[in-house]
């Protein structure tokens, strides 16, 4: 008896013209890649298959991903490997600081995989990394892009103890799609994390969040997410096009045209966000230096 056949996965849709990129030819890209390799660092640029890493690296910038490159969650949109993580590397904060110093960064984004295997979710590793970067590169604007830490007050307080300039936690998608798109995370938990940051800092720390579009969300649902974020005091919003990392990940439902991204940006600004980045190629850390937390 022959084995049953399975249908091959449907081909991924062809990218529209506005999502086609030209690769840079500068030497800076190679120097940045070599530096990151020499220091044995992970970047979200590579691990999450960010489409902008060619441009960012060509400018000598990168978003560092700490805590290893194995995530304890299996979000259906994310290219980062889901596997049992290795123990934290105690020397990693110093190596991130060295990279920031050598690259002469004015603004750095430090993100990390979800570490549900750790009691604090990796919050103290964020603290140590921020402190090391600030010691090595005084005056740098530091943005942390964190997981939800399971909304634990002590973990959030630990991450805040190093006084980053911007606290970023992504909502990722609208309420209705969250159970399908995200692993273990919830819409309301993410809002709670952002609310607690504002409460702990009396509104003095800028908070940031972002959504991927093209997963089947409706315009009114995006507006609802904007309202929910503003209700917890979120200052900065990023909106970008979801791109399917592989046939195993969620499929793109729609490629959002640039005009719709412009309309969303106008809506967000009208709702009071201090800074909005909205466009097909926007990612949470893309052009993050355009808002530096007031450092000028």
Which DSSP letter does residue 211 get? E
User: Which residues are paired to 145 by β-bridges?
Assistant: 111, 168
Say which CATH class 26-289 falls into: alpha beta
The encoded tokens of residue 185 equal 């995370």
How far apart, in whole angstroms, are the C-alpha atoms of residue 174 and residue 213? 9
Q: Which pLDDT value is given to residue 283?
A: 75
Helix (H, G, I), strand (E, B) or coil at 240: strand
Q: What is residue 49's predicted lDDT score, i.e. its pLDDT?
A: 45
DSSP assignment, residue 148?
A: -
CA atoms in the 13 A half-sphere facing the CB of 154: 4
Asked whether the beta carbons of 167 and 200 are under 8 A apart, the reply is no
What local confidence, expressed as pLDDT, does residue 286 receive? 59
Contact 175, 224 (CB under 8 A): yes
Per-residue tens of pLDDT for the chain, all 296 residues: 455 555 555 566 677 776 665 555 556 556 666 656 666 555 554 444 445 444 554 454 568 889 988 889 988 867 778 899 999 999 999 999 998 888 888 888 899 999 999 999 999 999 999 999 999 999 898 999 999 999 999 999 999 999 999 999 999 999 999 999 998 899 999 999 999 999 999 778 999 999 999 999 999 999 999 999 999 999 999 999 998 877 888 899 999 999 999 999 999 999 999 999 999 988 776 555 566 655 55
Q: CA 162, 31, 128 angle in degrees (round to 5)?
A: 15
Torsion angles phi and psi, residue 113, rounded to 5: -70, 160
Pick from 113, 112, 111, 68: which is nearest to 86 by CA?
Answer: 68
Give the pLDDT of residue 91: 94
- For residues 189 and 156, give the distance between their C-alpha atoms in angstroms, rounded to a whole number: 12
- Measured between alpha carbons, how far is 1 from 122 in angstroms, rounded to an integer? 51
- How far apart are the two ends of the chain, measured CA to CA in Å? 71
How far apart are the C-alpha atoms of 204 and 206, rounded to whole Å?
7
Structure tokens at 249: 């990940």
């Amino acid at each position: 008896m022959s084995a049953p056949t399975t249908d091959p996965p449907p081909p991924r849709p062809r990218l529209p013209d506005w999502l086609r990129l030209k690769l840079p030819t500068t030497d800076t890209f190679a120097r940045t890649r070599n530096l990151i390799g020499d220091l044995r660092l992970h970047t979200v640029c590579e691990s999450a298959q960010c489409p902008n890493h060619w441009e960012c690296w060509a400018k000598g910038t990168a978003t560092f991903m700490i805590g290893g490159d194995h995530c304890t969650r299996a979000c259906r949109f994310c290219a980062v490997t889901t596997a049992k993580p290795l123990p934290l590397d105690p020397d990693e904060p110093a190596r991130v600081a060295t990279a920031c110093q050598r690259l002469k960064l004015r603004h750095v984004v430090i993100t990390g995989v979800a570490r549900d295997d750790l009691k604090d979710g990796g919050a103290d590793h964020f603290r140590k990394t921020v402190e090391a970067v600030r010691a090595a590169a005084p005056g740098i604007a530091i943005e942390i892009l964190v997981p939800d830490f399971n909304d634990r007050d002590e973990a959030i307080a630990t991450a805040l103890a190093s006084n980053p300039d911007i606290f970023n936690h992504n909502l990722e998608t609208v309420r209705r799609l969250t159970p399908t798109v995200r692993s273990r995370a919830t819409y309301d938990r993410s809002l709670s994390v952002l609310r607690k940051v504002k409460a702990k800092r009396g509104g003095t720390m800028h908070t940031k969040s972002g959504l991927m579009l093209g997963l089947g969300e409706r315009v009114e649902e995006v507006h609802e997410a904007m309202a929910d974020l503003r209700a917890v005091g979120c200052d900065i919003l990023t909106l970008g096009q979801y791109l399917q990392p592989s046939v195993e990940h969620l499929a793109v439902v729609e490629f959002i045209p640039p005009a719709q991204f412009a309309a969303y940006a106008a809506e967000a600004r009208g709702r009071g966000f201090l800074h909005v980045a909205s466009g097909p190629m926007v990612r949470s850390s893309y052009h993050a230096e355009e808002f530096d937390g007031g450092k000028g």
